[in-house]
Structures are given as C-alpha cells and as structure tokens.
Amino acid sequence: MQRISIAISLISILFCSTLTGALPEPEYGYDKDSGNGPEYWGDIKEAWADCKIGQTQSPIDLSSNCVQVIPELGSLVYWTYNPQYATVSNRGHDVAVEWGGGAGSIDIDGSPFFLIQAHWHWPSEHTIDGQRYDLELHMVHVSPQPDGTNKTAVVGILYNYGSPDPLLSKLEEYLMDIPQEDEEKSIGEIDPSEIMMGSTMFYRYIGSLTAPPCTEGIIWTIDKKIRTVSRIQVELLKNTVLEYYAIRTARPLQPLNERKIQLYVSKY
C-alpha cells in the first residue's frame, strides 16, 4: 500500500513539474550544450580551475586493460561502520544523507577516514569497461590533518535497474517531505554497513571531486559489485532536486593520463 501511495505521489510531482515556470540557471550544470556545462566549469570561477587544467580528474573508465590486480587494498574490506542517526537533505543539485558523527570509518594506509555523507548521481559517473550504469552512490569520508585541512576518500557504488535498493526504500517516504532546496528531514538510524554488504572486489585510484571545484587528491574506491535500484526510486531522486538537474548529474569521463588503477580481489 505504501509503494502505491508513493507511486501516486510521484505521478503528481511529474504532472505539476510541467506547470512550473522556467527557473534561474544554477552556477554549474551537466548539459554539454549549456554555457555552464562541464566543458566550461573551469572558466566560471578561478577557484574551479582544476575542472579545466587538472591532470588527475574524475570520473574515469575502469578498464580491465589498465588495472593492476593486487591481493590487498589497505584495510578497506574491514571497514567499521555503525548505525547512527542521520538526516536526508535536498541540496538542489542532489539528495544527500548526512551523519552527524559516529557512523564509522574506513582505513587507508593506516589512517581513518570518517564517513560524513552519501549522495547520488544519475546515470553513473564511473564506467567499467565502457559500460555506464543507471545510478551511482558516493560515500564521502574525511580524515582531519594536523594543519586543519581534510583529506577526502570516496567510495562509489554502482546500480542497474532491478529490485528496489534497501537504503532508498527507507528514504522514499522522506523524499516527499523535502521538495524544496535546502530542506532536510531526520530519518532515524541508518547503518552504512548495509550498503557495503557482500563486497569483495574494489577498484582504487587517485582522482578528484566530480563537481566544482573538482579538487584533486581524492582517494577513490569503486565497488565492483553492481547493485540494483528500482526505476521509481531513481525517479523519486530526480523529482526531489531542482528541475535543472533532473535529467542528468553525471560528469563526462576524464582522461586517465597514465594513472594507475588497482583492483583488489579477495581470496575469500
């Protein structure tokens, strides 16, 4: 019954969106034919120059011809996540789940990177051997440094259309309550470990943020396991954000520029 109600609400949103007038164009977008599309990000602001001149940009194609298979990948397979209270927010350009603290961490080269938020892109930004997927989740982690800055590590999860995603199933009813930019809603405890269950193979490379300011030095870890998400769940995400971002929020693939891609394959 709940899913029927959500479906009816989605139809209403789709209908109402056709009655909405034109909205102001955001600072950046994903339409290649627009003056603020990915090709022009680096020209919009000086602080976004890396989007244009950076040599280690993301996303990339994770090609089997370029990967180095290794038996271990730090301690990522032993991540420590905990159920923790979270909020879901409409950031205009995407939907994000944010943890206030205590949600756990991953370990990279002996340093803990603490999970702070997760958000989605449609379709996927990364591809595997040229194949693009229907959705990509980014789990953002930070590691505080002595100089007051943060190092950032992002875990990417890829999805194809199929059965509903358990995390989004928990969020469906809340997405209907945050139709405006900057609105947020408490969603109770969310266990990040449920997202990563069953993962045994991961790609690792050094890249950048996939949206302005395209900061480099980001440690990327992409789960090779492809999960499923329902079409209605993706439509709910699209119809929560600003109309300008509803069609696409995936940056085009970036040159590898001789970077190394490692593939961890578990023996267990």
Q: With contact defined as beta carbons under 8 Å apart, do 232 and 82 qualify?
A: no
User: Which residue in the block uniquely carries the two structure tokens 């995390």?
Assistant: 167
Q: Is it the case that residue 194 has pLDDT exceeding 70?
A: yes
Identify each DSSP E strand in 145-208 by its residue range. 150-161, 184-190, 201-208
Mean pLDDT within 103-120:
93
The pLDDT of residue 97 is 98
Of these ranges, 9-18, 34-43, 193-202, the one predicted with the greatest mean pLDDT is: 34-43
The pLDDT of residue 13 is 43
The pLDDT of residue 74 is 56
Peptide bond into 192 cis (omega under 30): no
Residue 9 Cα to chain centre, angstroms: 25
Q: Are strands 84-90 and 95-99 parallel, antiparallel or unpaired?
A: antiparallel
CATH value of 56-265 in 3.10.200.10, 3.90.1300.10, 3.40.50.970, 3.20.20.70: 3.10.200.10
Residues in the chain: 268
HSE-CB for 260 with a 13 A CA cutoff: 6
Q: The pTM is what?
A: 0.89
The pLDDT of residue 214 is 99
Catalytic residue among 93, 119, 126, 138: 93
The pLDDT of residue 81 is 94
Q: What percent of the chain has pLDDT over 70?
A: 88
Residue 109's pLDDT band, with cuts at 50, 70 and 90, is confident
Q: Is it the case that residue 100 has pLDDT exceeding 80?
A: yes
Is residue 93 part of the annotated active site? The answer reads: yes
Q: Is it the case that residue 232 has pLDDT exceeding 90?
A: yes
Min mean pLDDT across 23-27, 32-36, 149-153, 161-165 is at 23-27
The pLDDT of residue 220 is 97
User: What crossing angle do the helices spanning 231-238 and 166-175 adopt, rounded to 10°?
Assistant: 40
Considering the chain, what is the average pLDDT of its residues?
90
Mean pLDDT within 160-189:
96
d(CA 184, CA 211): 21
Query: Under 8 Å CB-to-CB from 200, ≥6 apart: which residues?
Result: 77, 225, 265, 266, 268
Instruction: Provide the token pair at 180.
Output: 């405006």
